Structure 1
Amino acid sequence: MYHNTSSNSHRGLWRGQAPRPGNTCNRNRNSTPKPQVTTPPHGRLIAKFTTENLPTHTIQSGDIKISDVEFAASYSLVDRHSSKIIIPGQPATWNPPQLPVQLPPDYGDYLRDHNGARFKHPLQPTVQSLFALNKRFDASNVDILGCASSLGDILRFTRSVESTFRFDVEMVGNTLFIIRNHNNELIPDVRGYGHSFLDASTSHEANLKATESHQRIISYSFGGLKCLLRFECDGYVDDINTELEATDFSIPKTPTSNLIYSENSGKAVSQQSILEIKTRSHARGPLDMSEQLPRLWLRQIPNLVTAYHSRGKFAAVQNRTVERDVLNWEAEHRGDLQAFASVLRQLIVEVKRASHLKLELCRTGLGPLELREQAGVYREALPAYWKDRWAGEYRQGSPDGDEEDGSGQGDGCVHSDSCPSLWESAGSEDDDDDFAVDYTACDFDTCGYCGYCGH
């Protein structure tokens, strides 16, 4: 169950780690400084969820499955020190070496979050690529947007699997944004052969050689909700019904204060061709599918490669279709998935109810799921321009919605990060729930001037 306490009743690792001598692989050639990671304190508790007595009866039985899976957008990330994105980019092509092959071990520290390490707003490249690949993209019917890692943490909670996490949640228009941001946090002293095998068994097209990570966004329906899910893609099989129909790209040519610099290159590929690649030591026995199927289900990945090795000598690679396994897992875990859908729905309700606050979602171990107010420096899901565009509040520069100057700015207010919010506290310092709108500024939807930033 959840308790409202408001008074208003291993994948995702960065492959560009510090190189070892003699390693010339593109994905491993950049050294990574070890940043100082500071953790802000937890803020006031707003709502608490437990796995007991969740109102799962409100979820229709036909909704307890993923349906209507479609490719939505994609982009590739390059050098860790560059904020450039390549749209749509392209996953690495599965091109395994001749076996047996001896590979060097993984070495060094890896970033937890590709997007968080590069961008102040980790979901901005997702949003920008969605609009770039579909100029008439309609965000009004999207209920949830987040990365697979964050949704996977919520799923682990509903399955009573131990996990500790903390990420931001915010309503933008009608959509619950779930924002994971580890900034430059590292996973230290990584051991194994997973990245080494990935580098040896996949390759990029000549125009995408600098790719460090390929990020893929899919859309689907689950629990009566329209979801957009972003995940890092290991690779794809080039001979499985791969290339999608060409999309009408609309990508700005130069960076502006509102835009991440982007290039148009690569091709969008079908979900049917996507691979998840795992490595496993022979000494540890077969891969435990009970750990893999939930992540494959969430990402709707139909192909699983498992490469077995003895101290880095790979002699067996198993490549199999797992669609039937994923469907069976879905059918066998209906109770867990009903709870998952219920939590997602209730989370939307609670975040909307407290939308005047900056919020985060957290859990420790086997504890409850807690919705808390952010403490310290507040974090935003998106820059103001992209929030307005997602919510449908930006003003187009031309009748058909195209930006005439390529800057990504319309005629209306495109508040900078320094522009004050229209929300001001109307109560005392101790009364965080009483907020009111400050109407002293003009309505920029009416006159195109907000009274704060001069736009």
Structure 2
Amino acid sequence: MSFVPVRGYGNRRGGWRTGIRRPPIANDQVTVTPAPPFGNVLERISVADLQKTSEEHRELAVIRNAVAVTSFNWVRTAKNDKPTTVIPGIPPRWTPSTGVQQLHEDQGDFYRDRNAAQYPQHPMEPTVIAGIHSDPHLAQNIDIVACSSTLGNLLRFVRNQDKSFRIIVELIDNTLFLIRRENSPTELIQGVRGYGHTFPQAYTTWDPSIKKSTSHQRLLRYNFGGLQLLVRFEADGYLVTPENETTNSSKSSIKSPQTGVETLSESFKTAEVEGEDDTKTQVPANDELNVQYAGKPVSQDRIFDLKTRSLWKKNQDLLSEEIPRLWIAQINHFITAYHEKGKFSPEDIVVQEVKEDVAKWERNQNGVLAQLAALLHVIIAKSKEEKKFELSRNEGGDLEVRRLLGDAGEALSEVVRKQWIRSSEVILKDNKEDDVEGVKEEILVWDDGQTDYTACSDECRYCGTCTY
């Protein structure tokens, strides 16, 4: 497979995601991929049903103890080579221009689901591999593994927003996997237009050590609704930390399967990332995915989300539309770049610290978020009866629990499934309390010391028609 770095934009989405560019397709050649067949409806869930049971979840309907577990970059490969990830990678750095820039409109074709397009057999598997490389006990006490797209769709449902979606649900050991489902792993976004690709190409920079990167994926662990979640999202980039700014992440480390616990930095100061060209080290994965080890961790509180908009929209409240998505991915910074027919001026690029805005939204939306927590508990309960099924919704309708037909595939390959189950096992040394504590300390990974992120972001359905 060959992957070329192109960043995506579509309709209302207004942001960017690195995508895979292919030769342009004329409008009369575009075909719509048929949807996979639907199984029989087993149950229907309404928002009214959730309202009745949500009260018991109100107190815990907040995101707490958010920790960045690991990250990885997708990178370009030569034709017919295996898909390749680099752990932990680095997001692109914000490098704004000091003058006015006239950019060309976006061109090219872009996949709707980047992770599925690059690894269609098991879209969540590269995330699990990266996570286990960083924490060999990753699966302990994890209730749900999801991406910000699947969580975003469930949140839209409880908020009564019109949006169709499909999610594959699979129980592995004691953990529920929520897998985004499109009509095809290589389905294209239609109607791509604007400057959401070309702007980040001009205003962000990949580090030399991962210059062939096409996207940066991050994995968060946090508590919500009395559940432990692992959530993957795609980061637009990171802001450089001022020289006089420090962080509280002196215990941060990432585990390499070849070298044990290898400390990559004494803190998550992005200054330590800049200008370094780390040697890539091969690490084992599976037969279908090539995994390399390079880059430097970047603190979650430096990550930003980026949108582009026409200048005439500058007085509109764009942030309120984006906050639910930011909440899911716990992102602190939001950049809006306004333009006039592709002309971007420094005074029209707004960089915001949005942590307090997202915290306020979380407080105000407590009732809705309690319904989301109730829904997650309902899905978990259903998985005790059906180990594997599908959630689907048509615009404005109830959430349908459907039987999953045989062509849906598995969340993880057999090799990685065994690794996941093994990572849930508790290892005790001679049953001594000190030894147990020693194990816990050894596997403490990539915790930047800030345990209450209430500012948050993306990896949504990225179809260009939603606010997530």
Tell me the TM-score range normalised by the shorter chain: 0.7 to 0.9
Deviation at 1:62, TM superposition (A): 2.8
Mapped to 2, the partners of 1:181 and 1:258 lie a distance apart of 24
Which residue of 257, 281, 288 maps to 2:310?
281
Q: Give distance in 1, aligned partners of 2:389 and 2:99.
A: 50
Superposed CA offset, 1:44-89 (max 9, x none): 1122110003143453433111110100111100127651110011
SS of the equivalent of 2:49 reads coil
C-alpha separation in 1, matches of 2:39 and 2:149:
23
Q: What amino acid sits opposite 2:186 in the alignment? A: N
Confirm whether residue 16 of structure 1 aligns to residue 16 of structure 2.
Answer: no
Change in Cα spacing, 1:57 to 1:19, as seen in structure 2 (3 Å) is closer
CA–CA separation in structure 1 for the residues paired with 2:301 and 2:325: 16
Structure-1 residue corresponding to 2:454: none
Q: Displacement of 1:110 after TM fit?
A: 0.9
- Cα distance 1:190–1:369, how it changes in 2: closer, same or farther (>3 A)? same
1:12·1:113 contact (CA, 8 Å) conserved in 2? no
Secondary structure of 1:339's counterpart equals helix
Deviations 1:378-426 (A, max 9, x none): 411101122222223899xxx9xxxxxxxxxxxxxxxxxxxxxxxxxxx
Q: Distance in 1 between matches of 2:390 and 2:255?
A: 36
Q: Look at both structures and tell me which one has the larger radius of gyration over its CA atoms.
A: 1
Among 34, 37, 41, the residue aligned to 2:37 = 41
Q: Note if contact 2:143-2:174 (Cα within 8 Å) is conserved in structure 1.
A: yes
Q: Does the CA-based 8 Å contact 1:385-1:394 persist in structure 2?
A: no
Query: Residue 105 of structure 1 contacts residue 196 of structure 1 at CA under 8 Å; is this kept in 2?
Result: yes
Other-structure match for 1:349: 381
1:411-422 aligned within 5 A: none
Partner of 1:172: 172
Q: Provide Cα deviations, 1:213-269, integer angstroms capped at 9, x if missing partner.
A: 100011110100101110110000121657873322116946675562111101111
C-alpha deviations, 1:190-218, integer Å up to 9, x for none? 10111111111110111211100100011
Report deviation, 1:181.
Answer: 4.1
TM-aligned CA deviation for residue 141 of structure 1: 0.4
> What secondary structure is seen at the aligned counterpart in 2 of 1:194?
coil
- Which residue number corresponds to residue 203 of structure 1? 205
Retained in 2: the 8 A contact 1:96–1:202? Answer: yes
What residue in structure 1 maps to residue 48 of structure 2? 52
Report if aligned partners of 2:72, 2:88 keep a CA contact under 8 Å in 1.
Answer: yes
Matching residue within 232, 236, 239 for 1:237: 239
Partner-residue secondary structure (3-state), 2:177: strand
Alignment of 1:426-437 (within 5 A): none
Distance 1:51 1:387 in 2: 33
Q: 1:99 deviation in Å?
A: 2.8
Match for residue 448 of structure 1?
Answer: none
Task: Report the alpha carbon displacement of residue 94 of structure 1 after superposing the two structures with TM.
Answer: 0.6
Partner of 1:107: 107
Instruction: Kindly indicate whether residue 321 of structure 2 is the aligned counterpart of residue 291 of structure 1.
Output: yes
Distance 1:93 1:200, change over 3 A: same
Deviation digits for residues 316-344 of structure 1, max 9, x if unmatched? 11101000100111111111101000001
Judged with a 3 Å threshold, the aligned counterparts in structure 2 of structure 1 residues 130 and 148 are, in CA distance, closer, same or farther, namely: same
Distance change >3 Å, CA 138–CA 338, structure 1 → 2:
same
Q: What's 1:79 paired with?
A: 76
Amino acid at match of 1:232: E
What's the offset of the Cα at 1:106?
0.8
Pairing partner for 2:289 from 260, 271, 280:
260
Distance of aligned partners of 1:122 and 1:226 in 2 relative to their CA distance in 1, 3 Å threshold: same
- Once residues 424 and 175 of structure 2 are traced to their aligned partners in structure 1, the CA distance between those partners, rounded to angstroms, is 16
Distance 2:109 2:174 in 1: 38
CA distance in 2, matches of 1:254, 1:335: 45
- Pick one of 317, 328, 335 that aligns with 2:360: 328
Contact kept, 8 Å, 2:335 with 2:350, in 1: the verdict is yes
- The gaps in structure 2 that reach 5 residues or longer are 1-12, 259-280, 430-468
Q: Secondary structure at the match of 1:75?
A: strand
Give the Cα–Cα distance (whole angstroms) in 2 for the partners of residues 283 and 193 of structure 1.
15
Question: Does structure 2 conserve the Cα–Cα contact (< 8 Å) formed by 1:359 and 1:371?
Answer: yes
Q: Identify the structure with bigger relative contact order (alpha carbons < 8 Å, sequence gap 6+).
A: 2
CA 314–176 in structure 1, closer or farther in 2 if over 3 Å, else same? same
Specify which of 333, 339, 342 is matched with residue 312 of structure 1: 342
Q: What TM-score, normalized by structure 2, do the two folds share?
A: 0.75
Q: How far off is 1:108 after superposition?
A: 2.2
User: For 1:93 and 1:184, how far apart are their aligned partners in 2?
Assistant: 28
1:125 is aligned to: 126
1:214-225 equivalences in 2 (<5 Å): 214-225=216-227
C-alpha distance in structure 2 between counterparts of 1:360 and 1:291, whole Å: 28
Distance 1:365 1:57, change over 3 A: closer
- Checking the alignment, whether the CA contact within 8 Å between 1:70 and 1:218 is kept in structure 2 is yes
Displacement over 6 Å in runs of 4+ = 33-36
Question: How many residues are treated as equivalent by the alignment?
Answer: 374
**Unaligned ranges ≥5, structure 1:** 1-9, 21-32, 400-455
Shift of residue 174, structure 1, vs aligned partner: 1.2
Q: Which residue of 1 aligns with 2:254?
A: 247
Q: Secondary structure at the match of 1:314?
A: strand
C-alpha displacement at 1:290, in angstroms?
2.5
For residues 263 and 17 of structure 1, what CA distance do their matches in structure 2 show?
Answer: 23
**Is contact 2:84–2:290 with CA below 8 Å preserved after alignment?**
yes
Aligned with 1:187: secondary structure? coil
1:161-201 deviations in Å (ceiling 9; x for gaps): 11111121101111110111441110024101111111111
Superposed CA RMSD in Å reads 2.7
